[in-house]
Amino acid sequence: MRTSRFIMAILAGMLALIVLFPFAYALMASFFAPADFATSPAPFLPSQWRWGNYTRVLTQGWFPTYIMNSLVTGLLSTTIRSLVAFLAAYAFSHFRFRFSKAAYLAIVLTLFIPGDLLLSGNYQLIQDLHLLDSYIGIISTSLLGASQIIMLTAFMRSIPTSIHESALMDGTGDWDYSVHILVPLSRAVISTFLLQGFVSMFNSYLWPLIVTNSPAKRTVQIGITMLGYAESLDLGPVFAAIIIVFIPFLITFIAMRKRIMEALRQGYMNT
């Protein structure tokens, strides 16, 4: 037993090292001078700690705007998609209506459609609607979360129907039942979806690149590639920008880790 635990500890440590090393190197590289990037072999620690790399990024003309655009689109997309997913899952799990199975199957089938296959058609539609260079255009393709609908539907179906029936007998309507009973029961799952949806939208690159033309509407993932330091091998500010973008996600994950683990346990128990 002790041997197996020791082996598992070693494997866990190796896995943690593999996962954390890129972040650790990016953190060190954010303090590099240009000469450090030209050194062979590449050093892990900077020859001199250049804290000014962070100042240069934060004072770079459009970078604060890029961050704000990503925050706005991430919050809008996550809020709307989670609301749509919750309402759709509630309908599929609590009601039987005409073509409900066909509609649910259609949502499942969207998971098998490659996103790149829809780029041309989506762009043409956004262009026809005059939504290029707008927040609505950026978030338009992320408002329907098929995986969220499917998982929330499965979770809601696992809740005993007696709870819903008792609430209806007490005169509780669907809205009050959803807000006061279903949402608290689904809190861990919804919190996980909110975090996952926000991270996904915040890190989106290809679609925002296609539908935006002006720096005023660019998101931070595009902005990092447009900082303009790479040509002179002055990559310290680029890594500093990556760390600035990553730190809020790390803090959010640490703050929500209990709910994420609770959601994973609920998902495991419902399978």
Domains of the chain: 62-226 (1.10.3720.10)
The predicted structure's pLDDT at residue 265:
63
0.85 exceeded by pTM: no
Q: How confident is the model at residue 263 (pLDDT cuts 50, 70, 90)?
A: low
% of the chain at pLDDT higher than 90: 3
First and final C-alpha spacing in the chain = 29
In the chain, alpha helices (H): 2-29, 34-37, 52-58, 63-94, 100-109, 119-128, 135-139, 146-158, 161-169, 174-177, 183-185, 187-202, 206-211, 220-225, 236-269
Query: Which amino acid does the sequence have at 19?
Result: V
What would the two tokens of residue 266 be?
């609920």
pLDDT of 212 over the 70 cut: yes
What does DSSP assign to residue 214?
Answer: S
> Maximum distance among all alpha carbons in the chain?
74
Closest CA to 85 of 145, 142, 140: 145
- Stronger pLDDT, 29 or 231, i.e. the higher one: 29
Measured CA to CA, the distance from residue 80 to residue 135 in angstroms comes to 13
Q: 130-180, pLDDT tens digit by residue?
A: 888 889 999 988 888 888 888 888 888 888 888 877 877 777 777 888 888
pLDDT of 268 over the 50 cut: no
